[in-house]
Amino acid sequence: MNRINKVFENKKEILSIYFTAGFPNLSDTSSIIENLDKSGVDMIEIGLPFSDPIADGPTIQQSSSTALKNGMTTKKLFSQLKDLRKLTNIPIIIMGYFNPIMQYGVEPFCKDCESIGIDGLIVPDLPVDIYYNNYKKTFEKYNLLNMFLITPQTSIERVKFIDKISNGFIYMISSFSITGAVNSFQKEQKEYFERINKMNLKSPLLIGFGISNRETYKDAIKFSQGAIIGSAFIKHLEKKGVNKITDFIKKIRK
């Protein structure tokens, strides 16, 4: 069984942390993973930096820009992750845009993901129909789960289709916007969470975009199996450094 599925079978109130590979420094990838593992997070999303990150807010955009300037590439990331499974046994997801994956080659990319122990992918700009018709078999050949995003504007029919073809979790975006930290969820967002929950989907849900503190994390886990934190964690990395990662996680889960 894929490590992602095992987490959802065995844990509640899941905390997944996103960071951009190559940020703050090119060589930080392994240290960040080790520190997140020690801090007790349930899942890690590694962002593959891209020059045109359409779904990302200013914090993650800036981290991507810095990472690219530092020299991060897909090949460099795979090289850094070659001993991944000596560092951690928790699920690892690569989140990246489709252009760099296509440039690398979809099948070689998936093959290299499997060889180093990556469990799944999140590709925000890969339409679900194109994935289903053209790439699903390739992802499954290399034991990679593909997680799809839904927003408050996603139609009921599309949500049901995503749920039908998913074999991992569904990434429930808290609002129709770019990523970024907020201090609390609004009434409209909570109504959206409730609406999706009433659909009784077979796939577990994680809420992302806007999870920044204890309050938003607790709100998210009322309506889903867990939450994803990105921008707030990257800000913490920038201000406090890799060695203070545990402090950030403790504040979320205290």
Please pick, among 34, 37, 42, 45, the residue that the annotation labels catalytic: 45
Average pLDDT value for residue range 2-30:
96
Domain segments of the chain as ranges: 3-253
Residue 187 has pLDDT above 90, yes or no: no
> Residue 56 catalytic?
yes
**If one looks up domain 3-253 in CATH, what number appears?**
3.20.20.70
Percent of the chain predicted with pLDDT > 90: 84
Average pLDDT value for residue range 111-136:
97
Instruction: Encode pLDDT of 40-53 as tens digits.
Output: 999 999 999 987 75
> Residue 45 catalytic?
yes
What do you get for the CA distance between the two ends of the chain, in Å? 31
Q: How many CA atoms lie within 13 A of 96 on its CB side?
A: 27
Average pLDDT value for residue range 85-114:
97
Q: Give the global pTM.
A: 0.93
What is the rounded CA–CA span in Å between residue 107 and residue 16? 26
Average pLDDT value for residue range 102-131:
97
Please pick, among 9, 13, 42, 56, the residue that the annotation labels catalytic: 56
Whether the bond between 24 and the residue before it is cis, its omega within 30 degrees of 0, is yes
Percent of the chain predicted with pLDDT > 70: 94
pLDDT band at 186 (very low <50, low <70, confident <90, very high): confident
